[in-house]
Structure 1
């Protein structure tokens, strides 16, 4: 496995014996991973990559201070470089990947071959690459198979929650705080450059409101060669956050890393490449998380916890909107990827359209986060709503077509004035209401995590009551377009809304 050379002048070098560059055609090599500590005890990790034996390109990440770094953390960080490899690959797509930074077992090589097939599919589709472009050969020194790392949980449990800024991470945080054995719930924000957390009122507001400490994993991609391809898309951010999260948790002595990935992520986008359906969110799916959990379990004792997997995205939105303790976060959450500002909604993309649908299914004031603009009444939003209910799912983190149809119907049920979109895509009938109470398979969870906490939430009971009400109306044939009782809400700060004017 990875080797550690504490005497290296460059810091702590992983896999130094395998770091020599070789001129290999059409090959991207992960040459080495170095770890060094600054005077303030902050950790700096650098990942080196070489295309066809050429000069090394570096990506770096800065991690929180700690006196020492244990071997569990070092192993996870070394393997994280195989996720980061996706960034330079999209500048120089090739059929072979060589890992010299750490040895891999046969199962681990297969894990990465499967991972790259999924991770590169969206990029290959949009850039018209050959259909076998994602069939990547992974080469590495053969490592011996390892048993899962045993976890020692005595007494209270400490967890880190991934801070994404959206509703999912907040619901995952809520479930963490309700766990009987969990004593500490803190935050980890994975920054892709530009001091996002330090410059964000919203993210800091979430942490201040929730409580707990906030730690940062700050990436630096500035040394990468700019891609010559027109669409360098589909970067596996959730996978990177998983490795960063487990690595930082191991560094700081936490027992678990908690994420907010829901069931909808497992559904693909309805388009195919090389005979396989493309899934923009594959690295949030239950199946991939199961493989990831097995992989990480042989590197670290930290548990990777994904408690929202049984829920549809719309159910998560229902919990977020209806749970009293989450009301203060309504003006703080953001999950738009197109605004260019993690404090803002663009109000002109598929993600904004879906979030508006999901919120307006349960609240009367969804327009307040968009400066009072009712997106259902905006003609230029019609194509996004049409896409959301269509057969091809948007290449974004959105729910399924059935969820969108249900959200639109629930929103129409609440309103006196329905707007263009609701008139176009609903007929007054509430279909797919079972999605409000349906449960999918749960992700594997550690013994200290109580999955029954989810069912004890008042918001989950409210969703069940709403479903029962809809079914009663359907059985009587008496659909009533009535306003539900308005929920007490916290004041919403609309300053984070900016409509894009670039026409995209």
Structure 2
């Protein structure tokens, strides 16, 4: 891409100068210091609430300071992508050779959609970025023998488990599963909005069990986006990962339970590694787990409670949790107004995946209209089901499970003698119905053993969310 090469030549150096902190009895605020040499400086912030009864000074906690530095390493991607400067000069801390390779792998894969959408074919994993460290304090490495797998027990869970809340169905399912396990739950929210707050209320969590942090973007970055500098998707879930273990440490919690499912591993573009959900994938989860154990030893155990499951199973479980149906939201287009737009890929996906488990009236009530009667959504249906090579660049389920959900919905409606809505009639003529119908329901009994769920909770997930084929 011409702009990519132009900006790299014009702005060859990006700096992570450092960060400053402000700490009082109530909050811990971090202001990062980034710079694209010759273009602009940037000062994004994060503000964490403090547990006042602890009276601890986090500036004096060596592990916490390593976490702050690491959070900055993730945050810088949002600003680096403006010019994709070939050199990233890190002055805020130091990194070993292995760490540099780890961060380059995260940036390249986490920005895979960004490169693809911007048609940047020149980006190569070896030389798209050179990380040069000038910091004095290196993050100490723990021997690899200290890297542990899935725990056989859940010692320390009696203090509570931190659950990041996005406002959608997945985190609601994690909340309910952990509630059934009888452990105290703390919700973790970045920049609270209606759906995230209402989710904690529906789960019965009081204010003392909700940890809300504030993240602000530097307005200069948004201005440069408007002027034609490069823009696109960054690995937000990696920010969730590093910031959540910070919140867990401040709250004295030993576990962080994400809500990323097995379906997140599927690439968005067929035949490629481009994945909108890369930092929700099991590869990233394993990589982050290893990074924690080796370089942030003593931090909370990070895992995804729903990793063994498909979106299909999550939808079935969620369909029975009626207390969330009126308040959950997953639509990015409607996030500012806390609504379902009813016209985007995410809305159509959620509508389809819930349809086998809810009545037509129930799904219409959630979304405010019958999306399956909207002929303008045909292209999105083709993307979601695999007729087109690319899935939508959204957090949606796998092609196979979407097709399975549609088949089950069609079969149920026809068995009830109901007229199929327009999109389902269209689907029956696409050839996919005849292809998937003989396969039956392959997902109710699905269970992915490649996960990091602690053994007792893995058994709970299996018992609660899987059915015999």
* TM-score, normalized by the shorter chain, greater than 0.5: yes
Stretch of structure 1 that moved more, 49-58 or 331-340: 49-58
Which residue does the alignment assign to 1:290?
Answer: 286
- Say yes or no: does 1:303 pair with 2:301: yes
Please give the secondary structure, in 2, of the residue aligned with 1:103. coil
Q: In the aligned structure 1, how far is the partner of 2:363 from the partner of 2:314?
A: 16
Q: In the aligned structure 2, how far is the partner of 1:277 from the partner of 1:248?
A: 31
- Say yes or no: does 1:441 pair with 2:449: yes
What displacement does 1:332 show?
Answer: 1.4
Q: For the structure 1 residues 25 and 165, does the alpha-carbon distance in structure 2 shift closer, same or farther, using more than 3 Å as the test?
A: closer
Q: In the aligned structure 1, how far is the partner of 2:314 from the partner of 2:337?
A: 21
Which residue does the alignment assign to 2:260?
Answer: 261
Q: Does the 8 A contact of 1:315 with 1:436 survive in 2?
A: yes
Please give the secondary structure, in 1, of the residue aligned with 2:186. strand
Stretch of structure 1 that moved more, 152-161 or 24-33: 152-161
Which residue does the alignment assign to 1:160?
Answer: 162
- Say yes or no: does 1:101 pair with 2:58: no
Q: Does the 8 A contact of 1:58 with 1:224 survive in 2?
A: no
TM-score by length of 2: 0.84
Q: In the aligned structure 2, how far is the partner of 1:361 from the partner of 1:139?
A: 52
- Say yes or no: does 1:366 pair with 2:363: yes
What displacement does 1:205 show?
Answer: 2.1
Structure 1 vs Structure 2 CA RMSD: 2.5
Please give the secondary structure, in 2, of the residue aligned with 1:278. coil
Which residue does the alignment assign to 1:232?
Answer: 231
Q: For the structure 1 residues 65 and 154, does the alpha-carbon distance in structure 2 shift closer, same or farther, using more than 3 Å as the test?
A: closer
Q: Does the 8 A contact of 1:262 with 1:308 survive in 2?
A: yes
Q: For the structure 1 residues 112 and 328, does the alpha-carbon distance in structure 2 shift closer, same or farther, using more than 3 Å as the test?
A: same
What displacement does 1:455 show?
Answer: 2.3
Q: Does the 8 A contact of 2:33 with 2:41 survive in 1?
A: yes
What are the residue-to-residue correspondences of 1:56-455 with 2, within 5 Å? Answer: 56-66=41-51, 67-68=55-56, 69=58, 70-132=61-123, 135-141=128-134, 143-147=139-143, 153=155, 156-179=158-181, 182=183, 184-191=184-191, 196-197=192-193, 200=194, 202-212=195-205, 213-225=209-221, 226-227=224-225, 228-229=227-228, 232-270=231-269, 277-297=273-293, 298-299=295-296, 300-322=298-320, 326-341=321-336, 343-364=338-359, 365-371=362-368, 373-390=369-386, 391-415=389-413, 416-426=418-428, 427=433, 429=437, 431=439, 433-446=441-454, 449-455=456-462
TM-score by length of 1: 0.78
Q: Where does the alignment leave 5 or more consecutive residues of structure 2 unmatched?
A: 1-9
Q: In the aligned structure 2, how far is the partner of 1:154 from the partner of 1:283?
A: 26
Q: In the aligned structure 2, how far is the partner of 1:155 from the partner of 1:214?
A: 17
Q: Which structure dedicates a bigger proportion of its chain to helix?
A: 2
Q: For the structure 1 residues 335 and 430, does the alpha-carbon distance in structure 2 shift closer, same or farther, using more than 3 Å as the test?
A: farther
Q: For the structure 1 residues 188 and 153, does the alpha-carbon distance in structure 2 shift closer, same or farther, using more than 3 Å as the test?
A: same
* Count of residue correspondences: 421
Q: Does the 8 A contact of 1:116 with 1:136 survive in 2?
A: no
Q: Where does the alignment leave 5 or more consecutive residues of structure 1 unmatched?
A: 1-23, 468-504
Q: For the structure 1 residues 222 and 54, does the alpha-carbon distance in structure 2 shift closer, same or farther, using more than 3 Å as the test?
A: closer
Any idea what the Cα deviations from partners look like across 1:133-188, whole Å, max 9, x if unmatched? 653222225654224599994572411111111111111112222335x3x10101
What displacement does 1:233 show?
Answer: 1.9
Q: Does the 8 A contact of 1:405 with 1:431 survive in 2?
A: no
